[in-house]
Structure 1
Amino acid sequence: MLPADTAGKAISLNFDRISAAAEVYVNDKFAGFHIGSTDPFEFPIHDLTVSGQTNKLAIRIIDMAEYQNKMLPASYQDRTHGGIYGDAKLTVSDKNKINLVKAYTPDNASVSLSAVVTNYSTASSSMTLKAEVVSSTGMVVGSGTSAAFTLGAGGKTTKSWNISSVPGVLKWSPENPNLYTIRTTLIRSGISVDQTVMNFGFRSFGISSDTQKFTLNGSKYFLKGASIVAHREVRNDPVFIKNFVAKVKESGANAIRFHLGPPSHYWLDETDRQGVLAVIEFALDGFHNLPFGETWFSDLTKAEYARYIDTHYSRPSVVIWSLGNENILGDPGNNTKRDFFNRVASGLKAETDARHYYLNDAGCMSFSQTPTSTFTGSLADICGSSDITDSHWYHGWGRMSPDNAFIIGPSNQYSTDMTVLSDALDQLFAVPVSKPHLFTEYGGAYTDDQGNFWPLSDLVNRPSGDSAQSIYFIGSNPVPRPDKALAYQQTQAKNSTQTLYARKDSTRLAGIFYHGFDFLIYNSTNLNAANLKQWYLDTYLLPCKTNLPCITADGSSGSQKYSTHAALEGKPGFYALQQIFKGITPSPTPTPAISCSVVYNPSSGTAPLATTATCSVSGGSGITDYRWDSYSDGTYEQSSLDQSATSHAFSIGGYSAGTHTGKCEVTRNGILK
């Protein structure tokens, strides 16, 4: 029942997010239609309700299928089902109402503000807006009032004004996340009729004068990041979210990339409060069949992005907006996608007042040639009008060519020898580009604690669940696989992070984000590996496999919710990342003398023949991170993560009689011995 005292008030329905469109009816009368899976929206319904009585509300959610999947999803896994994915609430206010307030600081001392105001009444109203900056102790430390304005019946307007100076400002940064609040009041005839309160921080974020680095509060600042997916499944659990962001901080990271789906306000409340820079990525993925060449689609995308950006414009933690993931990477020769990005980017910069954030297309500078597409222009232009260049390279997981880093490598190119990645970085930073460069994805230790790889369709020849490549890294013996999986995560986190981090001062590298950070903080004692694997199958292989149920909006179909899997305790890979990000010097460990000896004896007789190659190591007692590789006649044959043994034998068959050459290699800590 709607209370009787709501008569004469403005009554609105507010939704944080739906997928993919909504029709709303109140008392069987049409209240509004919204299309868009990312942005919050509001429907005024006071003309359709009756105060003091029970009112009927009906919401029709239209999923992606009804639109032939030609719309943006709320997040990556929301393509296959519709639903309400955020808070929904009824608000009651005066009919002169503040709809939106945006604020930013041009100089870390003053505040520039704008507010959208609507007059829902049937008469004109004369009003002013007053903004106050309130410290964490509750003291008003600055204020400013707009010029008086008159708004006609049913009118809407945007007003701008300033707070000229706030004395003794405490700047916001990840190291010192000093938060203020801005209290904005709408005043009519000397009386406050509406008020909003939002978090605010005094900080500046920019690009350095040499165009190579980011700056925070006037000083060059390197982004040490965690690329995560947890926000897509856990949207509205404040305790889980608070603990997760705290774990990111504990790792030494100062930034989070919210991969393929804008986070709820609960996540951004925590990044503001705890001090973590936010890179927010919209759920537009280049591997999906979307109408990139259609103007209406770029207009729809731009409008939806703009509404979400405006909602979170004032947050101190939000610094980069990624307009999509791998739109160019998977199809580098497709200029249609590049033109789409350019149209959306230019429109957003014109419409959302892009004075304190930057735009990115994640992974745009990864490959210029794939098996099906080749970019023929200059590599310096491959990212289009993005403010940033960005690579997704997974050395030791995704295949990289040792000769050309921008071409997907040959079969079995999975060596974890970091010299290949180092050579690739030389090629990358030799490209003449005057923009900061990010690695928003690297690492690739996508295993659960049982050694099962993250299931992924093999778009660029990467390992998938329980594949030969998974066995290549983890081994096939089920008994030690959990220990080997953790060791593999540790090795990947350590070696790839060290190799990239070493370039932070000598190149235009401006930030790195370890992708798969979620895997580094699961508690293996509480992990249900089968359900976790099922969750990733449900999430990433869309449409779902016919023999596997999809997770529904309420988390049913036998798959547990994400939060039940995550005890948020650091594992070896987490601490490897922490040592680098925090500059912790680990206790030295003795390095054994490692040598390889080969016994290669093809048997005589009728082909095919069998052979055995044995590789040995001396002085390796207690070492648990060996990987063994064998080659025959210069061709790669087998690998094993037989980590604790001091020798390993390979049995290889199918050889003809005659002379052959054999070689064994042992790799320790990613370094070939």
Structure 2
Amino acid sequence: MLLSNLMKALTVALLLVGTFNSLPLIGQSILLQNMPARRVLSLNGSWNYIIDPYENGFYDYRREAFDQSKSGKGGYYDNAKPSSTQEEELIEYDFDKSQAMQIPGDWNSQDPKLLYYEGTIWYKKSFNLQPKAGKRYFLYFGAINYESHIYLNGKKLGMHKGGFTPIQYDITDRLSTTGDNFVVVKADNTRRPEEVPTINTDWWNYGGITRDVFIAETPQTYITDYKVQLAKNDPNTLAGYVQLSGEGRANQSVTLSIGEANISQKLKTDTEGRATFSVPARKLTRWSPQNPKLYAVTLRSGTDEVKDRIGFRSIETRGQDILLNGKSVFLRGISMHDENPLIPGRARGEGDLRMLLTWAKELGCNYVRLAHYPHNETMLKLVDEMGLLVWAEVPVYWTIAWENQATYQNAEQQLSDLISMGKNRASVVVWSVGNETPLGEPRLKFMSSLAKKARALDDTRLISAALELHRTPDNVMHVDDPLGEFLDLTSINEYAGWYWGGKPSEITKYTFDIKYNKPVMISEFGGDALAGYHGDANTRWSEEYQEALYQNQLKMLSTIKGLRGMTPWILADFRATRRQHPVYQNGFNRKGLISSTGTKKKAFYVLQDYYRQMAQQYDGK
């Protein structure tokens, strides 16, 4: 019996790694840094798709996966065609005759019947690429929500979980020698209790391939990863590493050049292909929101060259102060979703993202919270350019399966990918490990482990999470979450005047009892208002109610001794399935300061005026 059970376990393990496929799964390890700089072929545009709620293209009638069978055949990923002109062979799908949708783009906003759809959709794209000798090729997806299975020319590359982090595979040995290729993606946005995020969220569950798709090219030995930033606790030193991959990665010469700063450093990789450096950096102009200075940085090794634009700044806390480049700063922020409120669906590209950031700048922000998941890699480069500090977050949101080890590993991987994607962006100053998670020992172990992981991966930024508070009958809001011991900031979500606390005029009766002697960030506050609906300050859903709420919130929050910033909820109205009031919400969370038609609500100007005052106090302007 024991031997039989062992054989069964071995068989399952082999199936999981794709041993019975004609080629093994590639697997994804370290994300190549700055992949868009290596783009050679965009796969954006029109993709054919098949809606598959029963997953007929993945499982046979006995619910066994085709790609785990001995032949690895039978699934939609084969992109099969009849073998004779009489079409005698039974094939019950045809990508080329199926509908098409635009990628990047979610399916919910492109096909009315898919508005609320959760399940599987298959995508197919044909492309022509003639591989060159001595080159390597990588297939890159900016994001696919949520679980994706990816196939090239009928062979599986791998499976990925997480709807907001990049996916990439080395496809060099999978490309057709004729140049004719096709990629098929199984995307499944089904919500599940053990996933990250879990089944309950307050944003729309947009499905599909929501960010750029392209193929990148490198030499056989290539620069995989690098970090070029100011050293922790030594803002006059530039420190980091360069990592090579490929058979010839050991004992290779690498050059780091920053021409404008007269920096040129020659390095040598070790046996694992890594070269570290430490360079004097006294003369580098520091990046800041007032002067978002970016330097052209070039890395070369052999025939490989990677160019990036990187800013250099220091960020730290001292007591209840946040110090940017050694100077106390007040973070005048706003929370944002990766969604253009004017056009249904996920933000589709740089134009959408730049519009959102321009609104934030107009509000008077020097800081944005990119909630509640990793945002587009393009967004991180734009905030660098436009001079906005960033809180970046993983979707450990509300209630997660705290005691499920696979759930933790998923969360840690998403955090690692987020840090990999953003570690060279000067704008990113806070890594957040979650939002509004309930107290409890399993949760504390889960969240504190994430905080430790973030610090181990990047010790040059601040670590935080959006915490909850609890109220007592004496109108005191207590902040004593034990997770706070592991964080650099005490960040709080509170909704006095909306979900509790009476009318806006009653907000100022509350006081705070905060356990930690750390900078205090109000990571959320706010209330809904339907743009154009007017009443007095006590008329819920009116612009006047939201206006009064902001006025009184700012009075209350200004009494916090260690207050060093805020990101009210939220810049713009966004779509949320939970928000069902047929008059005031109609599928939107209306807490935006800007409406779903681009109209600025009255509260926008309240916060704008407050930020002018704080800019004068901290920046002298």
What TM-score do you get using the length of structure 1 for normalisation?
A: 0.64
> What is aligned with 2:225?
100
Partner of 1:173: 288
Cα deviation 1:58-108 (Å, max 9, x = unaligned): 22223334x555333799567856422211111122111222222210234
> Matched residues in 1 for 2:236 and 2:599: separation?
40
Matched, 1:490 2:602: no
Report the CA distance shift for 1:77/1:537 in structure 2 as closer, same or farther (over 3 A): closer
Provide the secondary structure at the position in 1 that maps to 2:291.
coil
1:394-413 equivalence runs, <5 A: 394-400=495-501, 413=502
- Is 1:436 aligned with 2:519? yes
**1:149 Cα shift?**
4.6
1:207–1:214 contact (8 Å) kept in structure 2: yes
Q: Say which of 262, 286, 299 aligns to 1:184.
A: 299
Indicate yes or no: 2:618 matched with 1:579: no
Query: Can you list the C-alpha shifts for 1:439-458, whole angstroms capped at 9, x where unaligned?
Result: 1112x231121449xxxxxx
Q: CA deviation at 1:267?
A: 1.9
Amino acid at match of 2:550: A
Task: Tell me how large the CA RMSD over aligned residues is.
Answer: 3.6
Q: Is the 8 A contact 2:579 2:587 kept in 1?
A: no
Contact in 1 for aligned 2:495/2:527 (Cα 8 Å): no
Give the corresponding residue for 2:66: none
Separation of aligned partners in 1, 2:148 and 2:549:
44
Report the residue type matching 2:486 in the other structure: S
Distance change >3 Å, CA 235–CA 76, structure 1 → 2: farther
- Find the partner of 2:488 among 382, 387, 400: 387
Does 2:485 match 1:345?
no
Q: Give distance in 1, aligned partners of 2:611 and 2:586.
A: 39
Is the Cα contact below 8 Å between 1:338 and 1:383 reproduced in 2?
no
1:218 to partner: Cα distance: 0.8
Partner Cα separation in structure 1 for residue 555 and residue 441 of structure 2: 35
Q: Which amino acid aligns with 1:536?
A: R
2:37 maps to which residue? Answer: none
Secondary structure class of the residue paired with 2:268: coil
**AA at the equivalent of 1:222:** F
How many angstroms does 1:565 deviate by?
6.4
Residue 473 of structure 1 aligns with which residue? 538
Q: Deviations over 1:618-654 (max 9, x none)?
A: xxxxxxxxxxxxxxxxxxxxxxxxxxxxxxxxxxxxx
- Please tell me the residue identity of whatever aligns with 1:491: A
Rounded to whole Å, the distance in 1 between the matches of 2:267 and 2:421 is 21
Contact 1:392 1:441 in 2 (8 A): yes
Partner Cα separation in structure 2 for residue 310 and residue 391 of structure 1: 26
Query: Is 1:327–1:361's contact at 8 Å kept on the other side of the alignment?
Result: no
Deviations 1:548-567 (A, max 9, x none): 9989xxxxxxx9xx9x9656
Q: In the aligned structure 1, how far is the partner of 2:293 from the partner of 2:287?
A: 5
> Take 1:250 and 1:280, find their aligned partners in 2: how far apart are those partners?
21
1:133 aligned to 2:258? yes
Deviations 1:43-67 (A, max 9, x none): 01111112343123222223334x5
1:305 correspondence with 2:415: yes
1:573-602 deviations in Å (ceiling 9; x for gaps): 2222121111299xxxxxxxxxxxxxxxxx
User: 8 Å contact 2:531–2:601 — kept in the other structure?
Assistant: no
- Compared CA separation, residues 23 and 234, structure 1 to 2 (3 A): closer
Pick one of 498, 509, 517 that aligns with 1:420: 509
Report the Cα distance in structure 2 between the residues aligned to 1:227 and 1:565, rounded to whole angstroms. Answer: 14
Match of 2:100 in 1: none
Is 1:141–1:166's contact at 8 Å kept on the other side of the alignment?
A: no
Letter in 1 for 2:229: Y
CA contact (8 A) 1:38 1:305 kept: no
Count of equivalent residues:
476
Q: Residue 171 of structure 1: CA displacement?
A: 0.8
Shift of 1:230: 4.7
CA distance in 2, matches of 1:54, 1:31: 17
Give the direction of change, closer, same or farther, for the CA distance of 1:390–1:369 in structure 2 (3 Å limit).
Answer: farther
Distance verdict in 2 for CA 1:9–1:236, change over 3 Å: same
1:229 aligns with 2:312: no
2:118 aligned residue: none
| 1:394 counterpart SS class | coil
Contact 2:206 2:346 in 1 (8 A): no
2:464 aligned with 1:360: yes
Question: Which of 289, 306, 324 lines up with 1:216 in the alignment?
Answer: 324
Unaligned 5+ residue runs, structure 1?
A: 151-156, 188-192, 401-412, 453-469, 476-480, 520-534, 552-558, 586-673
1:318 aligns with 2:422: no
1:170 maps to amino acid: T
Give 1:665's aligned residue. Answer: none
1:13 aligns with 2:139: yes
Change (3 A) 1:237 1:380: closer
The alignment partner of 2:486 has SS state of: coil
Cα separation, 1, equivalents of 2:200 and 2:142? 13
Secondary structure at the aligned position of 2:505 is classed as: coil
Partner of 2:563: 509
CA displacement at 1:381 relative to structure 2: 2.9
Partners of 1:56 and 1:378 in 2: how far apart? Answer: 54
**Match of 1:528?**
none
Report 1 or 2 for greater relative contact order, CA contacts < 8 Å, sequence distance ≥ 6: 2
Task: Give the distance between the partners of 1:183 and 1:73, measured in 2 at CA.
Answer: 41
Preserved CA contact (<8 Å) 1:21 1:36 = yes
| SS across alignment from 2:172 | coil
CA gap of 1:126–1:391, structure 2 versus 1, over 3 A, is closer
Map 1:450-599 → 2, pairs under 5 A: 450-451=532-533, 473-474=538-539, 485-503=542-560, 507-518=561-572, 536-538=575-577, 540-541=578-579, 566=596, 568=598, 570-583=600-613
Task: Please state how far the C-alpha of 1:516 moved relative to its aligned partner.
Answer: 2.5
Per-residue deviation, residues 429-486 of structure 1 (Å, max 9, x unmatched): 4x3x2222211112x231121449xxxxxxxxxxxxxxxxx999326xxxxx8xxx23
Deviations 1:487-532 (A, max 9, x none): 33322223322432354xxx2222222222325xxxxxxxxxxxxx
- 1:283 aligned to 2:365? no
Amino acid at match of 1:315: R
- Taking the aligned partners of 1:509 and 1:584, their CA distance within structure 2 comes to 12
Query: 1:339 deviation in Å?
Result: 2.0
Task: Verify: 1:144 aligned to 2:268, yes or no.
Answer: no
Sequence identity percentage: 19
Residue deviations 1:12-38 (CA, integer Å, cap 9, x gap): 101111222222222222222223333
Q: Is the 8 A contact 1:128 1:186 kept in 2?
A: yes
Larger Rg: 1
